[in-house]
Amino acid sequence: MMEMYLYLALFAPLAGSLFAALFGASPKTLWTGLITSGLLFTSFVSSVILFSYLLSGGEVIHVEMMTWMATGNLYIPFGFVVDEVSATMMIVVTTVSTVVHVYAIGYMDHDKGFNRFFSYLSAFVFSMMVLVMSDNFAGLFIGWEGVGLCSWLLIGFWYHKETATWAANEAFIMNRIADLGMLIGIFLIYWNTGSLQYDKVFAEVPYLDIDTVTMIGIFLFVGAMGKSAQFPLHTWLADAMEGPTPVSALIHAATMVTAGVYLVIRANPIYDLIPDVGYMIASLGAFVAIFAATMALVNRDMKRIIAYSTLSQLGYMFVAAGLGAYWVALFHLMAHAFFKALLFLGAGNVMHAMDDELDPVKMGGLRHAMKWTMVMMTLASVALAGIYPLAGFFSKDKILEVAFSGDHYILWGTLWVTAGLTAFYSFRLIMLAFFGEKRHEALGFHPHEAYKYVLWAMSPLAVLAVIAGWFEHEFVHFITHLLPNFEFHTHHVEMILIIVTSMIALGGIITAIMLYKNGPLSKKWEERPCYKVLINQYFIPQFYEEFFTKPYRELSRVLWKEVDMKIVDASVDGIANTIYGTGEKTRHMQDGNLSSMLRWMVIGLLILLTLAAAFSFGTSDTVQQALSDLGAI
């Protein structure tokens, strides 16, 4: 019976995608949105049943549908597993995806590509389910590439916009670069263990040379860096905001960017053996956390601010995973998914109300027209800031405790400062958009609240943003059946750490309220060098353009003009022209004149006799030489 629920959870999104694809080129069909949403809800219910089964003490569910590859010693099945980690991810993915699907019915209401959008969106969810449910690295890689393809389709959904197609290509190419590293890691796993099945690989890894395990861990993490947009492969994440807002919510909360964190958590037996690599991962995560937070401080695009927030929170997750607190990383991934999806969907409401305007400086006073959106986004921002008793408080504080417990005080200090910055930029956005004067009126905007069913669809996320952290102890008891428990050594200072972290978060909120209660800051601030550095993303995109994109473009032009056209094409054309010219010159041999043809026959006969004579003489000499050699012996 449980196997049936496994298949329902896995394949219901695929069925929805195929159904919507049947009407992809047709005008909007409301049934497309309703049926795909219903199938996602079926997947959600099945995931809840499977989760409840494991929670009540049931055994891990492992199925093999069929053999995929079987050659020599290589055996890869289409196998799927529902254990504590995959069940948690299934709940997160299907919960957020179901809400996003229902929300998208209203958001994409007037879009010509309505049916096509739902086909892509459901395929995205199916790919993520394959990724988290597979029982081997090859199946994980299939889902990994599937979410990459679907992200390209969805980020560039409005392909008539050059910025959208550019952003889709950037995300796709940057992830392919990282995926090459992951593929090398998978090859190393098979080369050294003879299998790609999780259980067999993790049983063999402790017996491998530590240098080999280190290389495997590094290359797998390179793949995670691309998917989770860690520095220096981070620029695609903010640019991906060119896609429809439901896509942004799905990418940032439950699918693509969480895949990198999931990979490290799933491969925890590998990373437990290489703590130095784990510390490198944690250090990079801490850097990315504060790096992204600083860029969010000044940005003037609502969706990009939230995107930088995601990048920063992913840094937190990698700190926990890198330091061996895998369950803490997964706990924050889960809690973050709910309030981050809520923030993005709220931003989508504002975007619709403001005729696609995303600059909060041009808004102000939206609380009057969008009361419920304001309430939900404020709630999500409080959760993101880590204020008690909302979900972010429990998960973020645990990560800070992990860093402090391991005496990693620089990491702890970095995350502590980031917590203050997070609270500040979150409420900077809230204050600029919803409070102060109605600056939008002078610009001719007439905002309005979203459809009621859209707000109702968002309400489960609002509830989860509040209560998700309350189940910390139950979650720890459940997840540590599979993941190692982390020993905290902060019991004597735990309350002090909580107070200190809460104080900086509250300080960030209060500072933002005081600075922006009357509207945006003076434009003199924008003339300062630090502002220019942050608004230009530390000039990293410009650096990539000057030192990677332009040289590559110039190299491609040179290879095209000088090599392809002047050497390759010229050689092929030269051979063709020579053969054609020879044919043109010898055509008169076939002019049908009997005398002429007899002359050519005689010439041909003489050439053949000459060649035969030369061959005969050559053979005789060879025979005579052979006889002479034989006589000498």
Give residue 514's identity as a one-letter amino acid code.
Answer: M
| Beta-carbon contacts of residue 410 (< 8 Å; ≥ 6 apart) | 286
Q: What is the pLDDT of residues 153-205, one digit of tens each?
A: 999 999 888 999 999 999 999 999 999 999 999 999 999 998 999 999 999 99
Structure-model confidence comparison of residues 490 and 501, the more confident one = 501
pLDDT tens-place string over residues 423-436: 999 999 999 999 98
Q: What is the mean pLDDT of residues 127-131?
A: 95
pLDDT, average across residues 47-58: 93
Angle 379-383-384 from CA coordinates, rounded to 5°: 115
Distance CA 52, CA 464 (A): 18
Is pLDDT above 80 for 93? yes
User: Which pair of structure tokens corresponds to residue 110?
Assistant: 């007037």
Rounded Cα–Cα distance for residues 350 and 373 (Å): 8
pLDDT of amino acid 625: 59
What is the rounded CA–CA span in Å between residue 597 and residue 131?
Answer: 74
Supply the pLDDT for residue 555.
92
For residues 55-67, average pLDDT? 89
Instruction: Band the pLDDT of 443: cuts 50, 70, 90.
Output: confident
pLDDT value at residue 628: 60
For residue 609, pLDDT over 70 is answered with yes
> So what's the pLDDT on residue 631?
52
In tens, the pLDDT along 204-221 reads: 999 999 999 999 999 999
Q: 288 and 415 in contact (C-beta within 8 Å)?
A: no
Degrees (nearest 5) of the Cα angle 230, 233, 238? 85
d(CA 131, CA 142): 7
Render pLDDT for 310-354 as a digit per residue (tens, 0 to 9).
999 999 999 999 999 999 999 999 999 999 999 999 999 999 889
> How confident is the model over 540-589, as pLDDT tens digits?
999 999 998 899 999 999 999 888 888 998 899 899 989 888 887 777 77
Residue 624: the pLDDT is: 56
- Checking if the pLDDT of 473 tops 50, the result is yes
Is 615's pLDDT higher than 80?
A: no
Report d(CA 283, CA 588) in Å as an integer: 80
CA distance 397 to 472: 12
With a pLDDT cut of 90, the percent of the chain lying above it is 67
Contact 329, 246 (CB under 8 A): no
R_g of the chain computed on alpha carbons: 32
Lowest mean pLDDT among 49-58, 113-122, 242-251, 522-531: 522-531
pLDDT category at 483 given cuts 50, 70, 90 is very high
Give the distance, in angstroms, between the CA of residue 598 and the centroid of all CA atoms in the same chain.
Answer: 76
Q: pLDDT higher for 550 or 600?
A: 550
Of residues 589 and 11, the one with the higher pLDDT is 11
Residue-level pLDDT at 627: 47
